Amino acid sequence: MGMTAIVSAILTLLAGIGIFLVACQMMSSNLESASSAKLKSLFAKASRSKLLGVGIGTVGTAAIQSSGATTVMTIGFVNAGIISLVQAATIIYGANIGTTVTAQIVALGMFGGNSISTSIIFSAFAGLGAFLIVFSKKAGLKTWGGILAGFGMLFVGLSLMSGSMEDFAARQGVKDFLAGISSPMLLVITGAIITAIIQSSSVMTSIALAMCVTGLISLDQGIFLTMGSNIGSCVVAIIAGITSGINAKRTALIHLLFNCTGVIIFMIAGWMLGGFTNGSISYGTMFESAFPGLPQTQLAMFHTFFNVITVLIMLPLTGALVALVCKMIPQQDVSDVEVLKLRYVDDNMLRTPPVAVEQTKREILGMAELAMENFDRAVDIITTLDFKERELFDKVEEKINFINRTLVDFVVRLSEKTALSEHDHLYLSTTYRTVRDIERIGDYAENIAEYADSLQEKGQRFTDDALYEISQLKVLIHRLYDNVRAAYKDERFDSLDKANVIEDQIDDFTKMMENNHVTRLSNGSCTPATGTLYLELSSDSERIADHLINVAKTIRSLATA
């Protein structure tokens, strides 16, 4: 094997890795798009049940074929305060089990012999998927075409990698060199470094599978490379955690400690096993006996066995692991000024667009809640002239404005993602106006608070009749808000119908307020200056109702999606 052949083998290996990575991304994004509703529902069920958390992580990762995406999504949930560290830990446990599905699929594709290999058969799916993408006019079929094409390309990449391994295996010098790398620790470190560089444990495991099948390395060497890939896969979580809050950093550390602990336990157990049997029994010999003549299955099964056993060991110790991580990354002192940030979304969630859409809706509902809280504060301030919550009012208004700016920027970037259903794309297109409507509610609440400042300066207040009417208007607006929230959150048209009725009632009520104001002016019970502020309050409240109903009406555009 000359230098030309060596260079050709290296380039073929790089081509195979590249196609495999693109295929993983393509299949993952299209699987997310096809299962977006189920995926959002699945992660919404995260609870205190540890076993449920493991199940969510396993099924979610198997569904989207990306443990990195699941882990980053989990970090986003922790950062938003949606799930606890214990819940996050169990989901990460499950993600480690779910990621072994890829190795099992790859192993299945390596069967063959004198007949047509399964790798060739599966590779043909790339062509079928491409036909669907190019010739289908339905978005759903194009998505499934992307899934099939990605699935097929996995095996095209695998074939290239296997071919390059066969070329290397034909060179005795290469085989002798690799055979000399027998140190388990060195193999684990090598697997971790390569995985960290390419940021895909699936690729590292697939390379190890191909090397085992071609005889380039032994099964024991492949096992330790695979164990190292588990540690290297933590780099994605670490990168995501560094740029996020303290609990996100703790979650990334949980992932690292969990994977490292599993490797340490298995390495110690392997060393003891070899010591007690004078080296006659190892992980390799055990799985060779269990699955004779099938090196690809042997390594894939060990990968699954390793992760399942690690989860079973660590699951009862989750509380202790979380406590350790909290000591390693202690809570920092927080100043009186709250750091402005989005509560339910961050940039990490852009890796899982369908879930990011659901979190965007939660962020908008949270923004609406803040705006209504400020409306209540403004009404309380102007009716009581008690300004003790004015500072809090200003802070909340600042936060509403921050969400307005930051969330729109997030939605712009989220809208560019391809792993979204037609419904999600349509929903995102409505969010710009919705966020603006809610921001305007905050502005009108600020106007009402400023009217209170004017009343205090003039040493005046509203009459008892005016205060009663304001209280009744407030009740109507909250009834409207409750129905708007229900309509927007769950796309309920019955709530939209009720909201429309209440909005008409508010219009009639504000007109009645104007008429009553004229009566009070004529009988001298109200001053012109105070009356002007009263009319402004009535008008601003009516506009708040208009913006609320605008939010609910957005569901009409989603009905056909």
Whole-angstrom distance, CA of residue 283 vs CA of residue 266: 9
DSSP letter string, 330-374: PPPP--SSPPP--SS--GGGGGSHHHHHHHHHHHHHHHHHHHHHH
Mean pLDDT of the 395-419 span: 91
Q: What pLDDT is stored for residue 336 in this prediction?
A: 38
Q: What pLDDT is stored for residue 552 in this prediction?
A: 94
pLDDT tens digits, 282-314: 888 899 898 888 888 899 899 999 999 999 999
DSSP letter string, 108-137: HTT--SSS--HHHHHHHHHHHHHHHHHH--
Amino acid at residue number 243: T
Which has more confidence, 64 or 462?
A: 462
Q: What pLDDT is stored for residue 167 in this prediction?
A: 63
Q: Which two tokens stand for residue 240?
A: 């995501």
Q: pTM of the predicted model, to two decimals?
A: 0.70
Mean pLDDT, the chain, integer:
83
Q: What pLDDT is stored for residue 448 in this prediction?
A: 94
Q: Sorting pLDDT into bands at 50, 70 and 90, what band is 134?
A: confident
Q: Sorting pLDDT into bands at 50, 70 and 90, what band is 461?
A: confident
Is residue 354 within 8 Å of residue 424, measured between CB atoms? yes
CA dist list (Å): 495 to 367, 431, 553, 555:
20, 19, 11, 11
CA dist list (Å): 362 to 180, 343, 412, 485, 551:
56, 9, 17, 11, 14
Phi-psi region of 65 (alpha: psi -120 to 50; beta: other; left: phi over 0): left
Q: Go through the domains of the chain in sequence order and give each one's CATH number.
A: 3-328 (no CATH), 347-558 (1.20.58.220)
SS3 content of the chain, % helix, strand, coil (to 5): 80, 0, 20
Which burial class, exposed, middle or buried, applies to 388 when counting CB atoms under 10 A from its CB (0-12, 13-18, 19+)?
Answer: exposed
Mean pLDDT of the 110-128 span: 68
